[in-house]
Homo-oligomer: A and B are copies of this chain.
Amino acid sequence: MTQTSLDAAALDAADPLAAHRDRFVGAAGPVVYLDGNSLGRPLRSTAARMTAFVEEEWGGRLIRGWDERWFEQPLTLGDRLAEVALGAGPGQTAVGDSTTVLLYKMVRAAVAARPGRREIVVDRDNFPTDRYVVEGVARECGLTVRWLDVDPDGGMTTDDLAAVLGPDTALVVVSHVAYKSGYLADVAALTRLAHDAGAWILVDLCHSTGAVPVALDAWEVDVAVGCTYKYLNGGPGAPAFGYVAARHLADGTFAQPVQGWMGAADSFTMGPSYAPATGIRRLLSGTPPIVGMLGLADMVELVAEAGIEAVRAKSVALTEYAIALVDRDLPDVRLASPRDPAVRGGHVTLAHPRMREVTAVLWERDVIPDFRMPDGLRLGLSPLSTSFAEVAEGVAAIRTALDG
């Protein structure tokens, strides 16, 4: 990157997606927001969407809303999300529950689908809830967790995985983008390896959906989960989504343990025994969180409008810019993320022994990154709502804090 390209104003002026920033609450400032990978900003349309929902759809249609739209909403929204951002055909994606609950369902389903196999592979740097779920399911099902050590500034490589796969592997659990380092895993290659060993793969898309293109069908992933409050701007605690490959639905292999009325073959017959629905509906358990889906739905359409490839291009430009500024202005800081954008997601982590206090100082100054143990400051650069100017202000603020 040349010196001239470090001019934030010029980069913002040349950004083909710049106009989309106006769609977000607060994007004009004063907060410099660098944590869109933890919680995305709301779209300005979200408040109006919620008002219309309360007054017309919920308040006007009342219980009829279930027949008219809501009953299918987890699947229709799932299909649209799949088309726009997941590289997945219809009938494989449903919105609902938290990421953790869906991970639990998926891990249980996967180990049940590979009977006799005794190991679940997961890396020690995967997100805590992924590891906790794996640990819990392994204990309750009498399996062993095969903990994988990976480069903490990177993530699970094919070499890492090949070294531990075997005839006893039931399941591999991996994050598409690592929550700390931002490492972008080669899911296609990892999936081939897992399948060659006869195992399933579960991909956590929390840190990639909406920022990095995903191709679940082409990669032949078995099951995946992701959240919607990061790059899909669904709001705090917005419901997660789950994907189950059509082949595991078609042959009835996929069975999850939380048997509820909304995942039953006929929810309103209310028969004596549970029989799972055919298709992705069987992933559901309880009443779908319709109110929680409102913010998300508009953001999926905005990603569709911008195009996920254009979103990714902006994302790469933002992280490249951040790294160029760090190289120039923060020589005392270690880049704890991949330098090669081909293996980097939408955020960049900067390591320094004082990053915990630096983060606290920045927050007081309305510059908002986040901190991850032990010494990482994350810059989460949500492509559609973050400007190059914010990145420049953020890096400058880190310099000031480190010097202060």
- The residues of A with any CB-CB pair to B shorter than 8 Å are 25-26, 31, 33, 35, 38-39, 41-42, 46-47, 50-51, 54-55, 58-60, 62-66, 70, 96-101, 103-104, 124, 127-129, 131-133, 135-136, 140, 227, 229, 234-240, 257-262, 264, 267-274, 285-292, 294-295, 363, 368, 370, 372-373
Contact across chains for B59 and A124 when beta carbons are under 8 A apart: no
Asked if residues A128 and B236 are in contact (CB atoms below 8 Å), the reply is no
Q: Which residues of B contact A131 (CB under 8 A)?
A: 272-274
Given contacts A124-B272, A128-B267, A129-B286, 5 further A-B contacts (CB under 8 A): A25-B60, A39-B66, A42-B54, A58-B235, A270-B372
14 pairs, CB–CB < 8 Å, chain A vs chain B? A25-B59, A35-B62, A41-B59, A98-B286, A100-B261, A100-B286, A104-B257, A229-B287, A236-B287, A236-B288, A237-B287, A237-B288, A268-B373, A289-B289
Q: Given the complex, which residues of B lie within 8 Å of A295, measured CB to CB? A: 54, 291
- Interface-centre pick from A99, A132, A363, A368 (highest chain B CB count, 10 A): A132
| A258 and B133 contacting across the interface, CB-CB below 8 Å | yes
Contact in complex: A286, B99 (CB < 8 Å): yes
Nearest-CB distance from A26 to chain B (Å)? Answer: 5
Q: Which of B38, B47, B271, B285 contacts A51 (CB 8 A)?
A: B47
Q: Which residues of B contact A64 (CB under 8 A)?
A: 363, 368
State in angstroms the CA–CA spacing of A19 and B137 once bound together: 52
Residue pair A54, B38 in contact (C-beta under 8 Å): no
> Is the Cβ of A62 less than 8 Å from the Cβ of B50?
no
